[in-house]
Amino acid sequence: MKIIDIRETVVPIQSDLRNAFIDFSLMTVSVAALVTDVVRDGKRVVGFGFNSNGRYAQQGLLRERFIPRLKEAGPETLLNEEGSNFDPSKIWDCMMKNEKPGGHGDRSVAVGIIDMAVWDMVAKIEEKPLYRHLADTYRGGQCDEKVSVYAAGGYYYPGKDLKALQNEMRSYLDRGYTTVKMKIGGESLDDDRRRIEAVLEIVGEGRSLAVDANGRFDLKTAVAYAEALAPYDLHWYEEAGDPLDYALQAELARHYEEPMATGENLFSTQDARNLIRYGGMRPGVDILQFDCALSYGLVEYLRTLDMAAEHGWSARSFIPHGGHQLSLNIAGGLGLGGSESYPDVFKPFNGFADSVAVEDGYVRFPDLPGLGIEDKAALKDVLKELSET
Amino acid sequence: MKIIDIRETVVPIQSDLRNAFIDFSLMTVSVAALVTDVVRDGKRVVGFGFNSNGRYAQQGLLRERFIPRLKEAGPETLLNEEGSNFDPSKIWDCMMKNEKPGGHGDRSVAVGIIDMAVWDMVAKIEEKPLYRHLADTYRGGQCDEKVSVYAAGGYYYPGKDLKALQNEMRSYLDRGYTTVKMKIGGESLDDDRRRIEAVLEIVGEGRSLAVDANGRFDLKTAVAYAEALAPYDLHWYEEAGDPLDYALQAELARHYEEPMATGENLFSTQDARNLIRYGGMRPGVDILQFDCALSYGLVEYLRTLDMAAEHGWSARSFIPHGGHQLSLNIAGGLGLGGSESYPDVFKPFNGFADSVAVEDGYVRFPDLPGLGIEDKAALKDVLKELSET
């Protein structure tokens, strides 16, 4: 049993939106394929992975460091003890050989791309949907057959007015979502008050609306927003300040009793631990949004879940960033609180299986081995290109 | 005034050593050149930069993101208000456009490579050694004409015995160094006790010897070492635990009254601030080792110095990692406490100007504009290759 080839390509995402920090029209995504000599259902097993949004494709680091290390490894060193499947932890250790501690950015994305492909490959060899494989491996088979998802949107576009924002949010409800998320911090608090109230006219109550500042605010602004947001009783107030400014987050918790959410820009268990140690996050109230695809993959995410449990955090407090099928499978298989969804943005990497509709705020899994990535017609060409021999 | 070309190449470092985490024989270095249309002393001004050791070459990120952004920028947008020179902050902002907050690794190295070349270029246009340019710009001309340096070595090599370790340390003293550094944590505390005592036979007193664990220890081991090291009265005890484990560092300070040093694996002002906020580091006792070449360059390092000053830290408590001429120039120009030196390792990127010897633990600057990188014969070929048109 071995990986006979590792391939990757770079795909632009189709977008003309911006948030507080970046212009997504320039974003790119690396897609990787692990081609094995294992045959299931008459076909060679190929595992696929890609990077989550907000960070760039990682072809450089993949080609220079992580793919060569895997190619140079003895195939038997990457297998589980029984030799019956690949061992994601051993593959992870192989990729991270000769990497120093600290400096968790970019390489965490590159490793995350390969790690996603590893789990897709492993579940395909087991002939199970990934969420079932995870439940069987880590939770005695206990899993959630449907996962709570929310529609992330509400971005700033040039010329987008309140009407357009309302239409966007209405379309999410029409597609089965019950909770939506919008950006704040683009212009002014007064502007955001108007935008929030416009969206509340559509979604009904504050608990159905989360707001996301994308790390833009200093403490004073974050607190001013906290005071303005509190009466709306929102689903959550997300990433007010710089992701590493734990003191800001901790101080903000003294001004805002409602749920807050953060973590999408922390890319290692060590960084996640610092948020939990110093950020004043409240178990049972606040939400942890670490995105495994940006932060060394599920092998590292398992360590993060264990670390958080030691600090009194339930997996239900984890609702990952990213809107990809790895986070969705983890949510179902490991009992997280839900997963993000991008119904309209980051195409073609947004959304879940084509065959599965969102119903009453939940989504189910397609009956496919692995991540379920083959049930996305928009990715068909790129997957085909990478898996052809 | 404009940058007419940006070139880069990758050079392996010549090394067969290892520390607690990595095998340096596989390390690579990116060297970048900013070729300008400015003529000084009859020649086109070219600024050179390279990455510091411990992290890899960054050709991928440079080619994919940072160099294209600079090439696409309007030349006038990169100049100071008078148009008399380039503005390092504006160049930095241009490189970091469309980069999200958090995730400070690898890209911080890539930006650091270009930033080093920027400061070399700017000082050459001013026709001053960089340390003088920094002193004139930020300290009213006040500078240190010589900088305290220490010899970092004492690595583990296959088959290296105590005699070889002693010979290595003696050779540093013979070359003008008064303080040396060695690795610990490779085998056992007993083994390290023997190694330390062997080195103390050569250097005389504990204050002349620093020890470096390269982030290898858990808290229990770190404390056991602290108790064993205290009687030696060492120069410092460096990077005991994971660079992001601030709680370990803070707890360790309760067990070790002597100086400790850390920071080489923290790559942003935000990470540095967290060390200062949470790591229990003691101003006037402990040493901060952030390496600008690994952490977004001097533009970011200036922010780190300002942040630290707000927390009561003097620039004299900064002794940067890396052993390169940018840190040396910063030390002389901004009044740091000193700079690291690698007399024998990381060739050809180790050491300072060929024409300047270390004397009594201090080194002076060559009388050359910029970093002084042209006074290193071992780099002559690569600089020539990059600057030829």
In chain A, residues with a C-beta closer than 8 Å to the C-beta of B104 are 103-105, 244
The pair of three-digit structure tokens given for residue B68, joined into one six-digit string: 């294209």
Query: Between chains, do B102 and A21 touch, taking CB under 8 Å as contact?
Result: no
Catalytic site includes residue B321: yes
What does the pLDDT read at residue A22? Answer: 63
In this prediction, the residues of chain B whose per-residue pLDDT falls under 50 are none
In chain A, residues with a C-beta closer than 8 Å to the C-beta of B111 are none
What residue in B sits closest to A98 (Cα-Cα)?
A: B22
What does the pLDDT read at residue B165? Answer: 97
What does the pLDDT read at residue A388? Answer: 85
The B residues from 332 to 371 touching A (CB cutoff 8 Å) are none
SS3 assignment for chain B: CCEEEEEEEEEECECCCECCCCEHHHCEEEEEEEEEEEEECCEEEEEEEECCCCCCCCHHHHHHHHHHHHHHCCHHHHECCCCCCECHHHHHHHHCCCCCCCCCCCHHHHHHHHHHHHHHHHHHHHCCEHHHHHHHHHCCCCCCCEEEEEEECCCECCCCCHHHHHHHHHHHHHCCCCCEEEECCCCCHHHHHHHHHHHHHHHCCHHHEEEECCCCCCHHHHHHHHHHHHHHCCCEEECCCCCCCHHHHHHHHCCCCCCEEECCCCCCHHHHHHHHHHCCCCCCCCEECCCHHHCCHHHHHHHHHHHHHHCCCCHHHECCCCCCHHHHHHHHHHCCCCEEECCCCCECCCCCCCCCCCECCEEECCCCCECCHHHCHHHHHHHHHHHCC
Contacts of B191 (CB under 8 A, 6+ apart): none
Interface membership of A106 toward B (CB under 8 Å): yes
pLDDT tens digits for range B197-226:
999 999 999 999 999 999 999 999 999 999
What does the pLDDT read at residue B387? Answer: 92
Question: How far does B143 lie from chain A, in Å, by closest CA?
Answer: 32
Return left, alpha or beta for B240; rule: phi > 0 is left, psi -120 to 50 is alpha, else beta.
alpha
What does the pLDDT read at residue B342? Answer: 95
Query: Between chains, do B101 and A65 touch, taking CB under 8 Å as contact?
Result: no
What residue in B sits closest to A20 (Cα-Cα)?
A: B100
The arithmetic mean of pLDDT across residues A21-25, rounded, is 69
Q: Best of B29, B244, B266, B304 to disrupt the A interface by mutation (most A CBs within 10 Å)?
A: B244
pLDDT tens digits for range A33-49:
999 999 999 999 999 99
Residue A20 has pLDDT above 60, yes or no: no
Q: Which of B98, B102, B266 sits opposite A26 (nearest CB)?
A: B98
Q: Best of A104, A262, A289 to disrupt the B interface by mutation (most B CBs within 10 Å)?
A: A104
Interface membership of A98 toward B (CB under 8 Å): yes
Set A183, A235, A324, A376: catalytic member: A183
Among the ranges given (A156-165, A240-249, B262-271), the one the predictor scored with the smallest mean pLDDT: A156-165
The arithmetic mean of pLDDT across residues A14-37, rounded, is 81
What residue in A sits closest to B103 (Cα-Cα)?
A: A105
Q: pLDDT category, A380, cuts 50, 70, 90?
A: very high
What does the pLDDT read at residue B12? Answer: 87
Interface membership of A58 toward B (CB under 8 Å): yes
Q: Percent of chain A having pLDDT more than 70?
A: 98
pLDDT tens digits for range A111-123:
999 999 999 999 9
Interface membership of B277 toward A (CB under 8 Å): yes
Residue A295 has pLDDT above 60, yes or no: yes
> What value does the mean pLDDT of chain A take?
96
**Neighbouring C-beta atoms of residue A164, cutoff 10 Å:** 12
Complex prediction ipTM: 0.96
The arithmetic mean of pLDDT across residues A374-378, rounded, is 95
Q: Which of B105, B265, B278 sits opposite A105 (nearest CB)?
A: B105
Question: How far does B330 lie from chain A, in Å, by closest CA?
Answer: 22
Query: Between chains, do B274 and A246 touch, taking CB under 8 Å as contact?
Result: yes
What residue in A sits closest to B278 (Cα-Cα)?
A: A278
* Prediction pTM value: 0.97
The A residues from 188 to 217 touching B (CB cutoff 8 Å) are 214-215
The arithmetic mean of pLDDT across residues A303-322, rounded, is 98
Whether B212 and B179 have beta carbons less than 8 Å apart is answered as: no
The pair of three-digit structure tokens given for residue A48, joined into one six-digit string: 């696929």
Question: How far does B267 lie from chain A, in Å, by closest CA?
Answer: 6
Whether A177 and A169 have beta carbons less than 8 Å apart is answered as: no
In chain B, residues with a C-beta closer than 8 Å to the C-beta of A105 are 102-108, 267
What does the pLDDT read at residue A17? Answer: 66
The arithmetic mean of pLDDT across residues A148-172, rounded, is 95
Query: Between chains, do A274 and B270 touch, taking CB under 8 Å as contact?
Result: no
What does the pLDDT read at residue B346? Answer: 87
Query: Between chains, do A108 and B104 touch, taking CB under 8 Å as contact?
Result: no
Residue A21 has pLDDT above 70, yes or no: no
Among the ranges given (A125-129, A170-174, B11-15, B181-185), the one the predictor scored with the smallest mean pLDDT: B11-15
What residue in A sits closest to B215 (Cα-Cα)?
A: A101
Q: Which of B64, B242, B294 sits opposite A60 (nearest CB)?
A: B64
In chain A, residues with a C-beta closer than 8 Å to the C-beta of B270 are 242, 244-245
What does the pLDDT read at residue A347? Answer: 87
Interface membership of A270 toward B (CB under 8 Å): yes
Catalytic site includes residue B133: no
How many Å from the N-terminal Cα to the C-terminal Cα in chain B? 18
What does the pLDDT read at residue A16? Answer: 65
Residue A304 has pLDDT above 90, yes or no: yes
What does the pLDDT read at residue A386? Answer: 96
Q: Which of B21, B23, B268 sits opposite A101 (nearest CB)?
A: B21
Interface membership of A312 toward B (CB under 8 Å): no
